[in-house]
Structure 1
Amino acid sequence: MRLLTRSREADRVLTQQAASRIPPGVAKVLSGVEEAAESTKLWCGAAVAMAWFGGWRGRKAAAAGLGALVVAQLAANGLCKQLADRPRPPEEWIPHDEVADRPASSSFPSGHTAAAVAFTAAVAPAWPAAGVLCAVPAVLVAVERVQSGAHYPTDVVAGASIGLASAWLTRRAPALLLRHWL
């Protein structure tokens, strides 16, 4: 019980700090990156660029990233949000007007973060330089989800965990299937 109480208090403190201490100029950048990531546009664009300019390695990285992204979206938005009915952070915690722009779905987990981390974590082994480049907007998306009041920090951590698990599963699935069937 104490752990749950501590987690809730940490969520409150971190959400309020992120919403009130990030300078307006930085918040605009975060918002722009999140808007680009909306409906996975940013990640699909990155996959197209990797496939177009990266040759065989780029196509492999793009396919891995998109595969992991789909798994993460299905897990986060298709399953977890349906099972967890967590309300968004209270409006009084958020001292700016972005709070009015929040989705109505469950707060848990962050689907944006799940997609960003899944794509990045799947791209990195196939093309490390592209993975590093993708990590920058992935981190910005995660921070923005808390700063805007759309998610609690624990929602973002859960989304990142789903993203990492999706990337791992996508990378390991072919070998697991072959071992099972052979």
Structure 2
Amino acid sequence: MRVSARLRAADRWIARRLAAWDPVRVGKPLWAVEESAERAKLWCAAAVVMSWWGGGRGRRAAAAGLAALTLAQVGSNAVGKQLVDRRRPPKEWYPHAEVEDRPASSSFPSGHTAGAVAFTAAVWPSWPAAGAACAVPTVLVAVERVQSGAHFPSDVAVGAVIGLAGAWTARHLPRLLLLVVRRLP
């Protein structure tokens, strides 16, 4: 079986398993976390709390998280979704009404996951406890994007990779820019 056929089969298998979860007991709590993460509300609120409660370490973690989130959102939504036009998963896979409330944009990649992973991965080095606390809603957002029918699992996986790249870039870009500036005539 070719890689693309295996990927499609894995996407379908995982999506259908998550879609079968009880939408009242599992779907509603996942939806609440995703709704709070919509338009980065959850991550901005976390940054405010970290800045206020964590002193200098909290402000550094919040700044890194917001910078990474911004880079990941640009990478996933402004670049990725424009380059790859992928349909959302088939509605027939989802036995619940959540599937009716999904975006019309390209399914690939998951911008919610990219932003969540970027924020969490950028916060972690500055303040591991805050990063660990952010990891819980990050995982829930990623699972919800598949469970609700908004994304294929591979969309979420690529979103996570974009998020990690955004976090790495946010943490290293100042040093890289400084090196470039020093080499300018």
Name the TM-score class by shorter chain.
Answer: over 0.9
Cα offset, 1:23, TM superposition = 5.7
Q: Paired residue for 1:179?
A: 179
Q: Paired residue for 1:19?
A: 19
Q: Paired residue for 2:86?
A: 86
Cα offset, 1:22, TM superposition = 4.8
Q: Paired residue for 2:34?
A: 34
Q: Paired residue for 1:148?
A: 148
Letter of the structure 1 residue corresponding to residue 72 of structure 2: A
Cα offset, 1:177, TM superposition = 1.1
Letter of the structure 2 residue corresponding to residue 116 of structure 1: A
Q: RMSD of aligned C-alpha atoms? A: 1.0
Contact 2:89 2:150 in 1 (8 A): yes
Alignment of 1:26-175 (within 5 A): 26-175=26-175
Cα offset, 1:21, TM superposition = 2.9
Task: State the distance in 2 between where 1:120 and 1:127 align.
Answer: 10
TM-score after normalising by structure 2: 0.96
Question: 3-state SS of the aligned residue for 2:108?
Answer: coil
Task: State the distance in 1 between where 2:43 and 2:173 align.
Answer: 21
Contact 2:23 2:96 in 1 (8 A): no
Unaligned runs of 5+ in 2: none
Q: Number of residues paired by the alignment?
A: 182
Question: 3-state SS of the aligned residue for 1:102?
Answer: coil
Contact 2:113 2:138 in 1 (8 A): yes
Contact 1:72 1:118 in 2 (8 A): yes
Task: State the distance in 1 between where 2:3 and 2:83 align.
Answer: 22
Contact 2:81 2:106 in 1 (8 A): yes
Stretches of 4+ moved more than 2 A in 1?
21-24
Question: 3-state SS of the aligned residue for 1:21?
Answer: coil
Letter of the structure 1 residue corresponding to residue 80 of structure 2: C
Contact 1:22 1:147 in 2 (8 A): no
Cα offset, 1:4, TM superposition = 0.2
Cα offset, 1:25, TM superposition = 1.1
Q: Paired residue for 1:10?
A: 10
Q: Deviations over 1:127-174 (max 9, x none)?
A: 000000000000000000000000000000000000000000110111
Cα offset, 1:178, TM superposition = 1.1
Cα offset, 1:77, TM superposition = 0.3
Task: State the distance in 1 between where 2:44 and 2:54 align.
Answer: 15
Unaligned runs of 5+ in 1: none
Letter of the structure 2 residue corresponding to residue 58 of structure 1: G
Q: Percent identity?
A: 64
Contact 1:113 1:156 in 2 (8 A): yes
